[in-house]
Amino acid sequence: MAAEFSPEWREMRVGNGTVRYLVAGAGAPVILLHGLSGSVAWWGRNLAALARDFRVHAIDLVHHGGWRRSRFVLGDISEHLAAWMPAAGLARASFVGHSMGGYIAARLAAEHPELVEKLVLVNAAALFPRTGPKLAPARLLRWLPTFPPLLAPILLRDALRAGPLTLWQATRDLLASDLRPNLEAITAPTLILWGDRDGLLPIELAHELHAALPSSELRIFPGAGHNPMWETPAAFNEAVRAFLHHDERPGRAAGI
């Protein structure tokens, strides 16, 4: 029988920082990592569904107080997670990362494969276009009108909470990163989820990521943008739950 959905905030001191995270459900551990200028609220349409079958840990990332440090350093987050997991009693877990959280999850899977059971990359900022601007203004202008209206005030609140300096540092570090050299080290079965109307990270990057990860499966959400977990929650939750329940490595076929 699935556990009742009753999320609980926890804090744990790890090294020179404090990890703050939301825990709910029972079962195999699943760790959720939100994106830049996000928060655990961005998983508000997914937590209850996932907690029916899994022990969900939604991390409040560094630039929102998860690790209370003087300066945000994107490259440090995966190592903080690797240190936090055994302290939290997690020998191994599945990761679901959105956008910047996808970058962090993919980097952790490459650097600490022993910690990652399965990997779900949601419109992950693990790659950027090889040529031209990494965030093209024309794409951004087309994307803004499609941003979910109910998510907009949450985005504004989270951006204010992070502050302009932290957001600038995070954005700068993310745009300067490129996980292409690290992808071959990822051995965990991986599900790549992408909205085909993403105005930040074009769909071509999803196909490149899929081609680079032999143990990956690609699922595309028609009509969704950069936030399919919010825009198409029923389909998103079904895809993630099915993948996490499946015992075999995924196939290579891309689909809807």
Return d(Cα 129, Cα 178) in angstroms, integer: 10
Partners of 29 in the beta sheet? Answer: 55
Where do we find the tokens 């595309």? 220
**CATH architecture type of domain 8-255:** 3-Layer(aba) Sandwich (3.40)
Predicted confidence (pLDDT) at residue 193 exceeds the cutoff of 50: yes
Mean pLDDT for the stretch of residues 188-214: 94
**Are 108 and 115 a contacting pair, CB within 8 Å?**
yes
What's the pLDDT at 251?
44
What's the pLDDT at 13?
84
Where do we find the tokens 């203004």? 137
**Are 107 and 97 a contacting pair, CB within 8 Å?**
no
Give this prediction's pTM: 0.88
Mean pLDDT for the stretch of residues 198-219: 94
Q: Which residue has the higher pLDDT, 241 or 134?
A: 241
Each residue's pLDDT tens digit, 115-134: 999 999 999 999 988 877 66
Q: How many CB atoms lie within 10 A of CB 252?
A: 12
Span of 104-108, 151-155, 189-193, 205-209 with lowest mean pLDDT = 151-155
Mean pLDDT for the stretch of residues 149-162: 78
Average pLDDT, the chain: 86
- pLDDT band, very low/low/confident/very high, at 57 (cuts 50, 70, 90): very high
Predicted confidence (pLDDT) at residue 166 exceeds the cutoff of 90: no
Collapsing DSSP to helix, strand or coil, 128 comes out as coil
